[in-house]
Amino acid sequence: SNNKILVELDTSSGVATMKFKSPPVNSLSLDFLTEFCISLEKLENDRACRGLIITSAIPRVFSSGLDITEMCGKSTEHYAEFWRAVQEMWIRLYGSNLVTVAAINGSSPAGGCLIALSCDYRIMVENPKYVIGLNEAQLGIVAPFWFKDTFVNAVGHRAAERSLQLGLLHSVPEAHRMGLVDEVVPEEKLQEKAVAVMAQWLALPDHARQLTKSMMRKAVLDHMLAHREEDIQNFVKFTSKDSIQKSLSTYMEMLRKKKR
């Protein structure tokens, strides 16, 4: 299926927009991740494209993170394939040559937060209902080392340590204070702000900016690439455990019951 992400390229400005549209909550399924990587690669190879704004077409949710159903009751082969796709998404986005701006117009837990953190700049809509963070610990699972590294690179070690240990989902003002998001705007100003920030970043020569970005991110990317297969084995082993399967299904059950 080729319709979970809407991509538009404005050739006059060189800015593409990706809108996540995978109801109900833009969870990162294997199909979604595959489509994301294909779309990003196309833009990356398009000379007319220099910048990418990532946002959601679903009200109130940017992305709910990894699709938990991909981690429940499936084969080890499936877990391995899924995890490789999660890694691929991050490698491509964190290492992208494009200027990437996350226009976060809804909640963004776990894998959703990772996508935002992998961009160059984060703008979030001010809304008391929206939260963002790496809440893995609350699900009884551990954020992978490269999620952690990406988080540390944005907010620093101490803030990351507390947030990750407690599996915190931060309110928008809190996320802003700790540097997890760079800017906060009212919903109706989001698009305009994202375009303005993008113009500021695109005012620099691509080459110098790209090499600088790569210099800043290389250590974390190289570390992950060097441990990629091991990371897959770890994920498969961990996810296959009865105790983890139980934690995940209890959590899904909790999500279902919450609204009744």
Residue ranges binding ligand CO8 (CB under 6 A): 24-25, 27, 60-61, 64-69, 107, 109-111, 135-136, 139, 141-142, 144, 235, 238, 252, 255-256, 259
Query: Is 135 annotated in the active site?
Result: yes
Nearer to ligand CO8, 67 or 120 (CB): 67
Nearer to ligand CO8, 60 or 218 (CB): 60
Query: Is 66 annotated in the active site?
Result: yes
Q: Which of 66, 164, 180, 248 is catalytic?
A: 66
Nearer to ligand CO8, 70 or 120 (CB): 70
Q: Which of 14, 51, 65, 111 is catalytic?
A: 111
Query: Is 111 annotated in the active site?
Result: yes
Please state the closest distance from residue 92 (CB atom) to ligand CO8, in A.
Answer: 17
Nearer to ligand CO8, 207 or 259 (CB): 259
Q: Which of 65, 112, 117, 136 is catalytic?
A: 136
Q: How far is 120 from 15, CA to CA, in rounded Å?
A: 14
Q: Which residues are catalytic?
A: 66, 111, 135-136
